[in-house]
């Protein structure tokens, strides 16, 4: 009896450019607000649907790729945007919820929210050295953004309205968005061409990262 032919190995499309693009656009809108040149609240819709839902989906698809780093990063920051956007929506529709965040409680709560994500971002920054330079720069600039916004929100919670720290965090956030957009664009065109058109750089330390891949992922069997 002849042996059955082995089923072809199916490789899904890389979700990393989508996740990075979703993160970049939403970060740009919120950071532009913090830097005082984009009107308030325009970022909430993208936070819920693009930076939140779409980025979360990219994280789920990275699980399909067995990409631990990408799945963890995109899923977590998808949750970040969904959580932050939901707080704004709840504050608008619920008087009880809004009252709990009135005055200094809001900026104090935002500072602790950002501290929690900065802790996560710190170890992801360290592990991003095993991916490539572009991804490392995304996490590095994001770390700086989060720290500046933590300082600024605590400053405002203690009575210093219109803290310059928040404005500075907004401008650093713009840089974060631009770096993430570059990484997204590079992965799109490099994936389309099958060669390096826009460089993302080699890993900064030895590990499981592969120079030809935006994120550590499984290899196609021979």
pLDDT at 209 over 70: no
User: Does residue 1 form part of some domain?
Assistant: no
The two three-digit tokens of residue 204, written as one number: 């900064």
How crowded is residue 122: how many other Cβ atoms within 10 Å of its Cβ?
A: 13
Structure tokens at 117: 């994500």
What is the full DSSP assignment across 153-165? HHHHHTT--S-HH
| Domain assignment present for 11 | no
206 pLDDT higher than 80: no
On whether residue 112 sits in a domain, the answer given is yes
Q: Rounded to an integer, what distance in angstroms lies between the CA atom of residue 190 and that of residue 186? A: 6
Give Cα separations from 199 to 72, 135, 159, 184, 195 (angstroms).
Answer: 24, 12, 45, 11, 10
Per-residue pLDDT reduced to its tens digit, 166-190: 999 999 999 999 999 999 999 999 9
For residue 198, being part of any structural domain is answered with no
Return the residue matching tokens 């799945």: 71
Cα angle at 202 between 130 and 184, to 5 degrees? 90
Asked whether residue 188 is domain-assigned, the answer is: yes
- Give me the DSSP letters along 46-68: HHHIIIIIIHHHHHHHHHHTT-H
Write out pLDDT tens, residues 51-78.
Answer: 999 999 999 999 999 999 999 999 999 9
In a domain, 103, yes or no: yes
- Which residue bears the tokens 């709560």? 109
Residue 8: inside a domain: no
Residue 214 lies in a domain: no
SS3 115: helix
* pTM of the shown model: 0.86
Find the domain containing 164 and state its range. 16-193
pLDDT band with cut points at 50, 70 and 90 for residue 142: very high
Question: Which residue, chain included where needed, has tokens 């698809």?
Answer: 61
Q: In the predicted model, what is the mean pLDDT of residues 113-135? A: 97
Beta carbons of 181 and 102 less than 8 angstroms apart: no
Domain count, the chain: 1
Percent of the chain with pLDDT over 70: 87
């Amino acid at each position: 009896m002849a042996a059955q032919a082995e089923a072809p190995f199916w490789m899904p499309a890389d979700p990393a450019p989508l996740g990075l693009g979703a993160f970049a656009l939403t970060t740009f809108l919120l950071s532009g607000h913090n830097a005082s040149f984009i009107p308030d609240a325009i970022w909430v819709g993208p936070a819920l649907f693009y930076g939140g839902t779409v980025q979360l989906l990219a994280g789920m698809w990275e699980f399909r790729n067995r990409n631990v780093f990408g799945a963890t990063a995109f899923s977590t920051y998808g949750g970040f945007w969904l959580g932050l956007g939901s707080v704004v929506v709840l504050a608008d529709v619920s008087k009880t919820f809004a009252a709990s965040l009135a005055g200094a409680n809001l900026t104090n709560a935002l500072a602790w929210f950002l501290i929690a994500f900065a802790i996560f971002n710190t170890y992801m920054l360290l592990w991003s050295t095993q991916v490539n330079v572009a991804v490392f720069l995304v996490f590095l600039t994001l770390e700086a953004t989060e720290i500046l916004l933590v300082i600024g929100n605590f400053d405002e919670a203690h009575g210093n309205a219109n803290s310059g720290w928040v404005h500075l965090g907004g401008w650093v956030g713009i840089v974060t968005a631009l770096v993430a957009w570059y990484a997204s664009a590079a992965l799109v065109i490099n994936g389309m061409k099958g060669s390096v058109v826009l460089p993302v750089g080699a890993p900064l330390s030895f590990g499981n990262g592969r120079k030809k891949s935006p994120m550590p992922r499984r290899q196609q069997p021979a």
